[in-house]
Structures are given as structure tokens and as C-alpha cells.
């Protein structure tokens, strides 16, 4: 069987047909030709947008000249109620200062320190499951949130504030599209941004709960009683250039994106991974056999034995990249292939299209974890694999995710078998991340 993807719209469609489909789901609004095009132009009454699938252009934008292609404020319009001025949406010197403070918390040695918290969260997830039909996205959201709270604040998901943030975020992510209408209109800053009332309310509740955690941690740091976790590391790190630390308000912005990026993206990837393993039971059996090498209480060194599981997770991130599109804006006049691109254009870099591009990948829509051990696909990975972006703005938590994902996948499959539910195959759509339109339903049983 071929893993599901949304039906592409026809190559020829009117602007209004496209906008109607776009409003329903950004993935379903993509024409089929974009999976083989190197570049495409989309015009609106207010701006021009260019999709770039040419690896040379992607490298120029993300790696060679990133300061000339800052993040687009049009994406920020939709995420502002929750993320504020977080590192995910800032540019220039503000962003550079934020990264100088955040990056040390995610260095290699810290991953070893956070590993026991990931194991504890995985053990909790294994224990919560029960035989029967299960909506697996909800379960993976639960375990991913547990990992974030244990590694950031040393509290489990059943802590009262952690549980409240998790449940409120479930409501938020289903009401917040990747882009809202403000992204398409040239609105002055003083005008309202057309956020749904429920979106604004949920964002305010989440930020209020996170503020309570940050304020409590600031007090514990001052008293000398704070645990040595990611929150303490970030809140006590000084910018090596200015000597400043994050204020509590700034820390709320950063925790909001850690929760969004570290919980929502991991949950998306894990849910799609379990669905694909259910679709390909022979691959699932190979993961289960490899997982038996972990031992009862996995240790950090045992991750080196999960080579195939890691390739499975890589392949899941290729087919279902949690963040399907990234938008930059060019500051300078550019020549892109045969087009003159004026300053202020929206430059779309799409892992969703790059990872399935017909002129780059062999069998682009097929699920084949073994492809990662071939030289041909290593070249594809270098040219067209962006699950964590690339260049200076590569995701800070990329190493974290590549420890968490294979570990949790192995722990779950070692204990449980996951089978497809006939007639309930999921259809991917883009909310904040790539999720399933009506959830991902699987039947689980003990091994």
C-alpha cells in the first residue's frame, strides 16, 4: 500500500477555487505540478509568492545568505497570540541574541542529561495504552507533552499546571490554521488581526499557565533550589555579547515555542510513524526486534543500537514533515532561475514538496526506511531534506527530536503491536503541524 497524502487540486484552477481549497486545508490546495516543478509563482492582489524547490535556491536562502531572507511577518500574524516575540518568529539581532542564550541548553551533553526524563515519559505512555481501537494522535500528544514538561521543568504531565497547558493546547491547535486571513491583507499594525475568539482565549490561558511556571522557577533559582533542567539552564544563561538574561516575560515566549515545536511536532511525527508501521507490519516487526536490544531500563548508549528505527523515523519525517512549509521574505532584488523577484516577495520553502519531489527522490511517495542506507538517497538528503530547516535557523531541538523519536517509537513497539483499522485511513491536513483530518485510529494489542 502507498501511504496516504491529500488529493492535489487540478493543475488549472481559478484564484477563487484555490483560495477556497486553501482555506479548507493548505495541503489539499497544492496542484500536482508542484511536486515536479523547480519553482512556481503565485499572485495575489497584495503580494507575490514564489515556491522554491530548486536545491540551489533553498541553499541560497537558508544557508548562504539567510540575513537577506528573514522570516516573513505574514506567518507571524497567525502565531502571535501564542508565541509573542519568541525565537521562532523574530529576525535580525533580536533572534541572534535569543539563540545565543537558548542554544547552550541543547548542546550534546545536555541530551544525555535529559535522556532519563524521556525514558520516564515513554514508560508512562506504554503503561497508559490498553488493547483495543485507539486514536493514536491524542496518545502521542500526551507523551510528547510529558517529555517537554519533564525535560523543561522536571514535572510530569499529571502535574496540575502541566495537565492544564496540555488540555488547553489541544483546543488551541485545532482552531489555529497555519495562516490566518491577516497573512493575505496589507493591514496596518493598529487594525485587529481577525483571530478567532477561541484561539485568542486559549492562547491567553496557555501563556498565563506558562507564566506561573516561569515565575516559580525564577523564585527557585533565586533561592538556590532550582533543579538542573532545561528551564534552569536557559534562565541562568547570560548572553555572551550583552551579559543579559531572559526576563520572565521573555521566557514565557520561549517556553511557548518549546512547547509548540517540541510537543506538537513530535506528536505529529510519532503518530504518523505508528500509522506507517501499522500499514507495513514487516517494518514494524524489524523495529520490535531491534527494540529488544534496549533492555528493561534503556540507557543513552543503547540508542546506537536503534539504527533501523532511526531510519524509520527519518523516513516518517520525509513523508510527513511536521512543519510542511516555511516562509521567508527577500530584502534585495533577486534573480531566481528565469524570474526577477522584487524585494518584499514571499518565498515559500516547502519540505512537503521537496521531500516528495518527483525529480529528486526515487519512489517519492513510497515508505522505504532502507533508502537511508543507499548513497543515492544520502545525496537526496543533502539536497532536499529539511524536517528541521537548515542553516543558522536550523531547529535548536533537532538533536533532541532525533533522540526522542526513535527512543519512544522503540519503547512503544516493543510492548505493543499496532494494526490498521480498515476503512479509517487518515488524510493529512495542515493545522499547526501535519495532522490527520479525523485523527489516526489504530487497533493495538500486546506483543
Largest Cα–Cα distance of the chain, in whole Å?
64
For residue 189, being part of any structural domain is answered with yes
* CA-CA-CA-CA torsion sign (210, 434, 113, 98): negative
| Residues 64, 84, 149: CA angle, nearest 5 degrees | 95
For residue 227, being part of any structural domain is answered with yes
420 CB-near residues (< 8 Å, 6+ apart): 275, 278, 279, 442, 443
For residue 358, being part of any structural domain is answered with yes
Pairing of strands 434-436, 428-430: antiparallel
Q: Is 46 exposed, middle or buried (0-12, 13-18, 19+ CB in 10 A)?
A: exposed
Q: What b/e sequence results for 407-446 when a residue is b if at least 16 CB atoms lie within 10 Å of its CB, and e otherwise?
A: bbbbbbbbbbbbebeeeebbebbbbbbbbbeeebbbbbee
What is the edge-to-edge ordering of all strands in the sheet holding 326-329? Answer: 39-43, 48-52, 346-349, 326-329
Q: Copy the grid coordinates of residue 131.
A: 488493547
The CA distance from 4 to 278, in Å, is 13
pLDDT profile of the chain (447 residues), mean per 10: 67 52 63 91 80 96 95 73 84 94 85 92 95 94 94 91 84 57 42 56 87 94 95 95 93 88 89 97 97 89 95 97 91 93 91 94 95 88 92 92 96 97 89 85 96
Q: Which domain holds residue 224?
A: 15-446
The CA distance from 387 to 365, in Å, is 16
Q: What is the pLDDT of residues 393-415, one digit of tens each?
A: 999 889 999 999 999 999 999 99
| Residues 348, 319, 95: CA angle, nearest 5 degrees | 40
Q: Where are the beta strands (DSSP E) in 344-413?
A: 346-349
- H and E: helices and strands count for the chain: 16, 11
| Residues 428, 85, 172: CA angle, nearest 5 degrees | 35
The CA distance from 225 to 346, in Å, is 47
- Whether residue 349 contacts residue 34, with contact meaning beta carbons closer than 8 Å, is answered with no
Domain count, the chain: 1
- Whether residue 231 contacts residue 259, with contact meaning beta carbons closer than 8 Å, is answered with no
pLDDT at 379: 84
Task: Give me the CATH number covering residue 165.
Answer: 1.10.630.10
For residue 9, being part of any structural domain is answered with no
82 CB-near residues (< 8 Å, 6+ apart): 172, 176, 203, 206, 207, 256, 260
- Whether residue 36 contacts residue 359, with contact meaning beta carbons closer than 8 Å, is answered with yes
Taking CA atoms, 305 is separated from 123, 287, 445, in Å, by: 19, 11, 25
For residue 58, being part of any structural domain is answered with yes
For residue 8, being part of any structural domain is answered with no
pLDDT at 72: 83
The CA distance from 96 to 297, in Å, is 39
CB atoms within 10 A of CB 241: 10
For residue 51, being part of any structural domain is answered with yes
For residue 159, being part of any structural domain is answered with yes
pLDDT at 262: 80
Q: What stretch of H or E contains 435? A: strand 434-436
- 376 Cα distance to chain centroid: 26
Amino acid at each position: 500500500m502507498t501511504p496516504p497524502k491529500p488529493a492535489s487540486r487540478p493543475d488549472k484552477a481559478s484564484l477563487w477555487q484555490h483560495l477556497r481549497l486553501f482555506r479548507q486545508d493548505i495541503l489539499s490546495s497544492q496542484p500536482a505540478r508542484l511536486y515536479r516543478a523547480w519553482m512556481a509563482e503565485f499572485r495575489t492582489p497584495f503580494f507575490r509568492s514564489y515556491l522554491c524547490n530548486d536545491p540551489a535556491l533553498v541553499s541560497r536562502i537558508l544557508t548562504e545568505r539567510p540575513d537577506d531572507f528573514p522570516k516573513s511577518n505574514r506567518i507571524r500574524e497567525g502565531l502571535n497570540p501564542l508565541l509573542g516575540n519568541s525565537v521562532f518568529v523574530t529576525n535580525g539581532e533580536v533572534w541572534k541574541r535569543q539563540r545565543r542564550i537558548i542554544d547552550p541548553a541543547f548542546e550534546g551533553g545536555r541530551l544525555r542529561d535529559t535522556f532519563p526524563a524521556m525514558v520516564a515519559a515513554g514508560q508512562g505512555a506504554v503503561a497508559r495504552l490498553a488493547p483495543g481501537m485507539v486514536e493514536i494522535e491524542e496518545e502521542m500528544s500526551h507523551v510528547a507533552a510529558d517529555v517537554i514538561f519533564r525535560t523543561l521543568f522536571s514535572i510530569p504531565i499529571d502535574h496540575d499546571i502541566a495537565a492544564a497547558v496540555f488540555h488547553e493546547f489541544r483546543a488551541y491547535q485545532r482552531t489555529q490554521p497555519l495562516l490566518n486571513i491577516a497573512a493575505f491583507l496589507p493591514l496596518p499594525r493598529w487594525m485587529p488581526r481577525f483571530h478567532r475568539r477561541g484561539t485568542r482565549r486559549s492562547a491567553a490561558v496557555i501563556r498565563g499557565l506558562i507564566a506561573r511556571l516561569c515565575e516559580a522557577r525564577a523564585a527557585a533559582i533565586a533561592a538556590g533550589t532550582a533543579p538542573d533542567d532545561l528551564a534552569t539552564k536557559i534562565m541562568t544563561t547570560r548572553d555572551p555579547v550583552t551579559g543579559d538574561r531572559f526576563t520572565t516575560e521573555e521566557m514565557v515566549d520561549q517556553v511557548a515555542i518549546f512547547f509548540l515545536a517540541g510537543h506538537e511536532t513530535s506528536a505529529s511525527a510519532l503518530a504518523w510513524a505508528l500509522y506507517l508501521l501499522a500499514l507495513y507490519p514487516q517494518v514494524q516487526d524489524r523495529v520490535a526486534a531491534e527494540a529488544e536490544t534496549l533492555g528493561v531500563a534503556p540507557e543513552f548508549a543503547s540508542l546506537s543500537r536503534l539504527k533501523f528505527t532511526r531510519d524509520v523515523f527519518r523516513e516518517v519525517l520525509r513523508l510527513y514533515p511536521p512543519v510542511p512549509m516555511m516562509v521567508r521574505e527577500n530584502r534585495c532584488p533577486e534573480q531566481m532561475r528565469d524570474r526577477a523577484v522584487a524585494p518584499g516577495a514571499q518565498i515559500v520553502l516547502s519540505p512537503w514538496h521537496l521531500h516528495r519531489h518527483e525529480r529528486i527522490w526515487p519512489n517519492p511517495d513510497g515508505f522505504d526506511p532502507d533508502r537511508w542506507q543507499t548513497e543515492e538517497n544520502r545525496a537526496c538528503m543533502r539536497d532536499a531534506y529539511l524536517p528541521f530547516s537548515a542553516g543558522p535557523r536550523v531547529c535548536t531541538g533537532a538533536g533532541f527530536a532525533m533522540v526522542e523519536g526513535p527512543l519512544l517509537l522503540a519503547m512503544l513497539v516493543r510492548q505493543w503491536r499496532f494494526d490498521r483499522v480498515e476503512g479509517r485511513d487518515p488524510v493529512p491536513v495542515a493545522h499547526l503541524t501535519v495532522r490527520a483530518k479525523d485523527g489516526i485510529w489504530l487497533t493495538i494489542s500486546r506483543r
